[in-house]
Amino acid sequence: MIPPISHKVNCTPPPETRRRRCWRVAASLFSLPVGDPELAASQFKMLSAQVPFLYIILLSNAVALSFTHFGTAPNTLTLLVPGLLIIISVWRLVSWARWRHQQATPAVLLRRLRGIVLAAGLQGAGFTIWALALFPYGDAYAQCQVEFFMALTVICCNFCLMQLRAAALLLTVIVTVPFLIFFLHTGRPALIAIAGNMVLVNGGMVLILLRNHNTFTALIISERQLTNRQQETQHLSDENLRLANLDILTSLPNRRSFFAALDQALTRAARADTRFAVALLDLDRFKSVNDVHGHAAGDRLLTQIGLRLKRLASSQIFIARLGGDEFGIILSDCQMDADIFDFGATVKLALQSPCVVGDRLASISCSIGVAIYPQAGITAEELFERADYALYFGKQHNKGGIIVYSDEHETTIRKAARVEQAFRVADYESEMWIAFQPIVDVTLIRVIAFEALARWESPELKSVAPDVFIPVAEHTQLIGELTIVLLRKALAAAKIWPPKITLCFNLSAQNLGSADTMAAVRRLVQSSGVAPSRIEFEVTETALLEDFDQAAKAIAKLHELGARIALDDFGTGFSSLGYVHRLHLDKIKIDKSFVTDVVHNRTAPAIIKTIVALCQNLQLDCVIEGVETEAQLRAVMALGCHHIQGYYLSRPVNEAALTRLIEDIAARSFTTAPAETEPQDA
């Protein structure tokens, strides 16, 4: 019967026969490290130290054997054959001495290892045949010498070849097998005993050799693994260090590397007695990009800016991102101030072309503050602080420019420190008072509101302007406390005013950002006895942008209360009417900078006119502040402004002067000549 055909393919390999396994084991014993160049190199290194000894011992033993047989054995055996064998050995010895100090490729090393195995076989066979051929010519002593020559030489050679198993084993087999057979055939018990002894010793040697070879190989492999692991660890640690010093978003060096580079620059400059500059670069109005277009757009913008700045970096210019929209620069080569301004111009040029912001293109400018070593400071902290101050100063006075820290800044800093010190210990209740400046409807000829303006009479510093102490109050986080005291005082004054007069009160960015302060403000309004509809809070665009969501919440709650909100200093910031719409603001105060130019300049009137028209369209109230002269008043009136604030109408005055002021204003006429008397400035 035909057996059914199995469709299954038998994948298991046929069992290995015994003979085949023996061959495989034997072949592996005589194999060379073909695929392992490192092992081959280690073996070669060990052998190149030992093989010369092998030849020296072999040569001296051979010379001794020839010498003792000279005269008794034929010259062919005492001179010619050993001479040839010795010449070959000397040639090999010299070759080894040469190779010891040579670099070789893995292929060459492997060829040399193969050469040793071959030499062990051929030279082993040559010396064995020669020694056994001498045997019949000697007396009993000389015959013993032959036997000892062979036994000891093979042991010694095995020792020297221990790291190369194939060579040592081949030599053992080639010498020991004929040796044993030969001496067994002599029939002399002493010689047979010596031969047996030698075979036993050689057997032991082979076992030790095999173990030793395995240990040696394992050692090399573990050494290699250790090296690999060390390399891997080093690589990981290098990568870690690189990432730890890199800003992920822009791939520029980060804050940490900036300070490390600053320390290095300081050491270099101190040693070489040279100058260098530390510059801090801050993008103008970056925050509004984040607020308006979202953080993803902000990140994209930073990436683009980072890329452009990166192109400016060189061995002399180190540029890092310090965080947010702030970048730190170290200019190693700046012997003259002109170098700094040149660099500033280069940066401006690099940032000039528009970046993608959200779904449109926008140009972004930057301000740069610079501190020069050693004039501005001699430590990293000093230099950084001063560059930061120059930047801060630049942001306030020269946005989009480059400011180098100078002695003048030093004086300002000292003064600011004194103000801060005094402000921290000030008693707001007794030292702070409110000045009021009227906002006048020049068509109705009456005061429609008073803006409350904070005044500080410090026992130590005397009169300090709000432009000075309000930023200090913000910086020291004391503005919340101060605002509450000022508002209480302002509300107490407003309580007795005629009901048609509004109280305008300034809120700072930090007020809007603090839920606690805003809750206290609302409580104060509710308990003041002044109708919330008579209260108008003035906020600036920058204050809104500080934390737009929080500001929007605060404004909504003030609206809920019934209070009104005015956008102060309009025209100095982004001048976006978008906020007005989104936040349902009630009024716009056109900044005084437009009024200064209204008489002589063509642009200012055009801008004012547009804003007034927009306010009319959006049904917003509009106040223009900073009117100082009759000409300015006429000009702004002609542009459609009717609600006016400014020194021409009145400077801010103290509470006691208000009743008189209301009457004075009502008695003035604004279409003809101005009133002659003006209230005293507070």
Stretch that binds ligand C2E, among 33-41, 53-61, 390-398, 620-628 (CB under 6 A): 620-628
d(Cα 390, Cα 369) in Å, to the nearest integer? 4
- Member of 147, 325, 568, 621 binding ligand C2E (CB under 6 A): 568
Nearer to ligand C2E, 247 or 547 (CB): 547
Provide the minimum distance between the beta carbon of 454 and ligand C2E in the complex, in angstroms, as a whole number: 4
Stretch that binds ligand C2E, among 1-9, 158-166, 374-382, 463-471 (CB under 6 A): 463-471
Residue nearest to Ca ion (CB): 538
Stretch that binds ligand C2E, among 213-221, 224-232, 368-376, 464-472 (CB under 6 A): 464-472
Q: Decide which of Ca ion, ligand C2E, none touches 466; Cβ closer than 5 to 8 Å per partner kind.
A: ligand C2E
Q: Residue 624 burial by CB count (10 A; 0-12/13-18/19+): exposed, middle or buried?
A: buried
Provide the minimum distance between the beta carbon of 434 and ligand C2E in the complex, in angstroms, as a whole number: 7
What is the rounded (10 degree) CA torsion for 663, 666, 670, 676?
-20
- Are 115 and 70 in contact by the 8 Å Cβ rule? The answer is no
Task: Please enumerate in sequence order all residues whose Cβ is within 8 A of that of 232, keeping only pairs 6 or more positions apart, or say none.
Answer: none
433 binds ligand C2E (CB under 6 A): no
513 binds ligand C2E (CB under 6 A): no
d(Cα 584, Cα 548) in Å, to the nearest integer? 14
Strands 502-506 and 446-458: parallel
Nearer to ligand C2E, 51 or 440 (CB): 440
- Are 298 and 290 in contact by the 8 Å Cβ rule? The answer is yes
State the helix-helix crossing angle for 37-69 and 106-134, rounded to 10 degrees: 20
Report DSSP state, residue 30: T
Stretch that binds ligand C2E, among 108-116, 162-170, 412-420, 640-648 (CB under 6 A): 640-648
- What's the Cα-to-Cα distance from 305 to each of 340, 357, 387, 391, 668, rounded to whole Å? 20, 11, 20, 18, 56
- What's the Cα-to-Cα distance from 440 to each of 599, 624, 638, 644, rounded to whole Å? 20, 10, 16, 5
Nearest one of 143, 53, 150 to 92, comparing CA atoms: 53
Q: Two tokens at 77? A: 């055996």
d(Cα 179, Cα 133) in Å, to the nearest integer? 12
Q: Two tokens at 490? A: 């302002």
State the helix-helix crossing angle for 81-99 and 106-134, rounded to 10 degrees: 160
Q: Two tokens at 411? A: 């004086």
Nearer to ligand C2E, 331 or 507 (CB): 507
Provide the minimum distance between the beta carbon of 270 and Ca ion in the complex, in angstroms, as a whole number: 48
Q: Two tokens at 557? A: 């709650």
Q: Decide which of Ca ion, ligand C2E, none touches 627; Cβ closer than 5 to 8 Å per partner kind.
A: ligand C2E
- Member of 145, 332, 508, 528 binding ligand C2E (CB under 6 A): 508
- Member of 121, 466, 471, 532 binding ligand C2E (CB under 6 A): 466
Nearer to ligand C2E, 325 or 569 (CB): 569
Provide the minimum distance between the beta carbon of 541 and ligand C2E in the complex, in angstroms, as a whole number: 12
d(Cα 473, Cα 463) in Å, to the nearest integer? 16
Region label for 401, one of left (φ > 0), alpha (ψ between -120 and 50) or beta (otherwise): beta
Q: Decide which of ligand C2E, Ca ion, none touches 388; Cβ closer than 5 to 8 Å per partner kind.
A: none
- Member of 454, 545, 558, 622 binding ligand C2E (CB under 6 A): 454
Mask: binding to ligand C2E, 467-486, rule CB under 6 A, as x and -?
A: x--x---------------x
d(Cα 491, Cα 501) in Å, to the nearest integer? 12
Dihedral sign computed on CA atoms, order 312, 314, 319, 320: positive
- What's the Cα-to-Cα distance from 637 to each of 173, 292, 447, 461, 586, rounded to whole Å? 121, 35, 16, 40, 21
Stretch that binds ligand C2E, among 26-34, 242-250, 299-307, 465-473 (CB under 6 A): 465-473
- Member of 420, 431, 628, 678 binding ligand C2E (CB under 6 A): 628
Stretch that binds ligand C2E, among 20-28, 31-39, 347-355, 451-459 (CB under 6 A): 451-459
- Member of 291, 388, 569, 655 binding ligand C2E (CB under 6 A): 569
Provide the minimum distance between the beta carbon of 662 and Ca ion in the complex, in angstroms, as a whole number: 20
635 binds ligand C2E (CB under 6 A): no
- What's the Cα-to-Cα distance from 339 to each of 282, 343, 372, rounded to whole Å? 20, 6, 12
Q: Decide which of ligand C2E, Ca ion, none touches 465; Cβ closer than 5 to 8 Å per partner kind.
A: ligand C2E
Nearer to Ca ion, 298 or 626 (CB): 626
Nearest one of 340, 216, 332 to 281, comparing CA atoms: 340
d(Cα 318, Cα 310) in Å, to the nearest integer? 9
438 binds ligand C2E (CB under 6 A): no
- Member of 170, 366, 403, 453 binding ligand C2E (CB under 6 A): 453
Distance of CA 102 to the CA centre of its chain: 45
Mask: binding to ligand C2E, 516-545, rule CB under 6 A, as x and -?
A: ----------------------x-------
For ligand C2E (CB under 6 A), the number of binding residues is 24
247 binds ligand C2E (CB under 6 A): no
Nearer to Ca ion, 195 or 551 (CB): 551
Q: Decide which of Ca ion, ligand C2E, none touches 454; Cβ closer than 5 to 8 Å per partner kind.
A: ligand C2E
Stretch that binds ligand C2E, among 57-65, 74-82, 139-147, 450-458 (CB under 6 A): 450-458
Nearer to ligand C2E, 358 or 471 (CB): 471
Nearer to Ca ion, 320 or 598 (CB): 598
Provide the minimum distance between the beta carbon of 416 and ligand C2E in the complex, in angstroms, as a whole number: 16
Dihedral sign computed on CA atoms, order 568, 574, 578, 583: negative
- Member of 198, 305, 329, 627 binding ligand C2E (CB under 6 A): 627
Nearest one of 529, 535, 583, 538 to 556, comparing CA atoms: 583
128 binds ligand C2E (CB under 6 A): no
Q: Decide which of Ca ion, ligand C2E, none touches 652; Cβ closer than 5 to 8 Å per partner kind.
A: ligand C2E
99 binds ligand C2E (CB under 6 A): no
Provide the minimum distance between the beta carbon of 516 and ligand C2E in the complex, in angstroms, as a whole number: 16
Beta bridge partners of 357: 360
646 binds ligand C2E (CB under 6 A): yes
User: Which residues, numbered 334-373, are part of the site for ligand C2E (CB under 6 A)?
Assistant: none
> Per DSSP, which regions of 185-316 are E strands?
276-283
- Are 308 and 391 in contact by the 8 Å Cβ rule? The answer is no
605 binds ligand C2E (CB under 6 A): no
d(Cα 322, Cα 260) in Å, to the nearest integer? 12
- Are 589 and 644 in contact by the 8 Å Cβ rule? The answer is no
CB atoms within 10 A of CB 256: 14
CB atoms within 10 A of CB 95: 14
Q: Give contact residues for Ca ion (rule: CB under 5 A).
A: 506, 538, 568-569
Nearer to ligand C2E, 307 or 468 (CB): 468
Chain residues in the site for ligand C2E (CB under 6 A)? 437, 452-454, 465-467, 470, 486, 506-508, 538, 568-569, 592, 625-628, 645-647, 652
